Structure 1
Amino acid sequence: MAKLSRLEVYEVMKSTGLVPLFSHTDIDVAKSLIDACYKGGARVLEFTARAQNAHTVFEEMAGYVKKEYPDLALGIGSITDGPSASLYIQLGADFIVTPVFREDIAIICNRRKIPFFPGCGSLTEIARAEEIGCEIVKLFPGSIYGPEFIKAIKGPQPWTSIMPTGGVEPTGESIEQWLKAGASCVGIGSKLMIKDSNGDFDYDEIQQVVKKCVEIIKDYKSK
């Protein structure tokens, strides 16, 4: 069961503006990544369900976050079917993210008052997602569409909240470009999950880069 309400998730996403994404099969590594991101200032995390045992790792992560970081919104991404969405809601997901637009998943999430962020690639998909209750839509892959796509969408639909994922760099130039175009928040995955020369996650560096990204967003929004 989700520990945060739907409105609480929306608020923290828009206020912090950053959603780190990661996936790993080792629960200890996953916990360390959570620690690093949280200490860096992230208050929303998306765990992508790509591995075969993703649900077992996520269940332990959800318990860990509930105990150690009760104000952290932990969601699940890369969901592609309704039964999987239901499973992760039962395991404690605070929100559901999909790479594509799925009305069946929207219905499941609405029944449980769980935020649903569908991957959309056209104004028609975005409008339909909003009609069925999606407060924030995911632009994926962001690198294909670019900031100008969001700027164009915000013309006829200034009320639309968009989170680009894929193509956002953890730099001031990239993040500000997306925010200036009208993005409500940004999702960053592998570019944020930095590794050292041995191929292991550099938790201290991840913490520092997350902190930098949070500060860039905060500074931009305060202008």
Structure 2
Amino acid sequence: MLVAPKNTAVSQAAATLAQVLAVPLVPVFNHADAAHARQILGACYAGGIRAFEFTNRGDNALAVFRELHCFAQQHCPGLQLGIGTIYTAAEAEDFLAAGAAFVVQPVTTAAVAAVCQRHDVLWVPGALTPNEVYHATELGAPLVKLFPGSAVGPDYLRALRGPLPKVKIMVTGGVEPTAASLGEWLGAGANCLGLGSQLFKQVTDSQALATRVAELLAFAQTHKP
């Protein structure tokens, strides 16, 4: 079992986890154009988001992430900017060097777990079945991504909570940017929610996105477990 080194002070990973759970919506976003990505990040931050997952998709994802990190440092104090869709230790190392505050996987790999634990960075592996969720916790995951949520639905999470009541779970994939969807997943036992492409569709400008995010976040914070 991989575990983080013991320390009497609050670890960086634990502090990031506390922030993710306190503001329980995490936008999940990718775009090849850095200027557009900065605009989206800024709008989400203005709406109250404090953890944002940029996904490692496309040949220039690392370059865009570096620009986002610089932007966040200058304009988004307190934001935890993480990287998603990480498969290998080498990818994790590259994005941690670029400033990633947390690492999200669609799967669970011991190699990425070890990198995150060595750097004291929050590791969020992906899992679906009870066996996969349990395996992730055995490797030391403090938060597990239930993915894809669209394949199972809130009733599945509710059933999963029977044998695994204490695992911190973030649902991604299938979470709609509506009060009804957020309420169903949070009511089923999700500790936080990843909001993907649906959040950004049919949004005309940054102010509209910030307003939409603020409304959803206000609902989530009053309905989280």
Q: Place the TM-score, normalised by the shorter chain, in its bin.
A: over 0.9
Distance 1:219 1:127 in 2: 29
Match for residue 180 of structure 2 among 166, 173, 184: 173
Q: Which residue of 2 aligns with 1:203?
A: 206
1:70-219 to 2 correspondence within 5 Å?
A: 70-195=77-202, 202-219=205-222
1:202 CA drift (Å): 2.9
* Whole-angstrom CA distance in 1 between matches of 2:161 and 2:201: 33
Q: Which amino acid aligns with 1:192?
A: L
Aligned-pair distance for 1:205?
A: 2.0
Structure 1 residue 194: Cα displacement: 2.6
8 Å CA contact 1:194, 1:202 repeated in 2 = no
Q: Corresponding residue for 1:23?
A: 30
TM-score, normalised via structure 1 length: 0.92
CA distance in 2, matches of 1:131, 1:221: 25
Question: 1:42-66 CA deviation, whole Å, 9 max, x = no partner?
Answer: 1110001111101011011111112
Corresponding residue for 2:3?
Answer: none
Indicate the residue corresponding to 1:54 in structure 2. 61
CA distance in 1, matches of 2:14, 2:49: 18
2:56, 2:70 → 1: CA distance?
17
Q: Report the Cα distance in structure 1 between the residues aligned to 2:76 and 2:156, rounded to whole angstroms.
A: 35
Cα distance in 2 for partners of 1:221, 1:18 equals 10
- Quick one: percent identity of the two aligned structures? 38
Please state how far the C-alpha of 1:131 moved relative to its aligned partner.
1.4
Partner Cα separation in structure 1 for residue 101 and residue 60 of structure 2 = 19
Normalised by the length of structure 2, the TM-score is 0.91
For 1:203 and 1:189, locate their aligned partners in 2 and report how far apart those are by CA, in whole Å: 17
Aligned residues: 215
Letter in 2 for 1:148: D
- CA-to-partner distance for each residue in 1:179-199, whole Å, 9 max, x for gaps? 010000000111111345xxx
| Structure 2, unaligned runs of 5 or more | 1-10
Q: CA separation in 1, counterparts of 2:175 and 2:32?
A: 24
1:220 to 205, 219, 223: 223
CA distance in 2, matches of 1:5, 1:66: 17
Tell me how far apart the structure 1 counterparts of residues 224 and 159 of structure 2 sit (CA, whole Å): 20
Structure 1: gaps of 5 or more residues: none
2-structure distance, mates of 1:124, 1:45: 28
Q: Tell me what 1:66 maps to.
A: 73
Which residue is equivalent to 2:4? none
**Distance (Å, rounded) in 2 between the aligned partners of 1:149 and 1:112:** 34
Q: Could you list the per-position Cα deviations for residues 152-191 of structure 1 after superposition, in whole angstroms to 9, with x for gaps in the alignment?
A: 1211221111111110011111101000100000001111
Give the letter aligned to residue 207 of structure 2.
D
- 1:117 is aligned with what amino acid? V
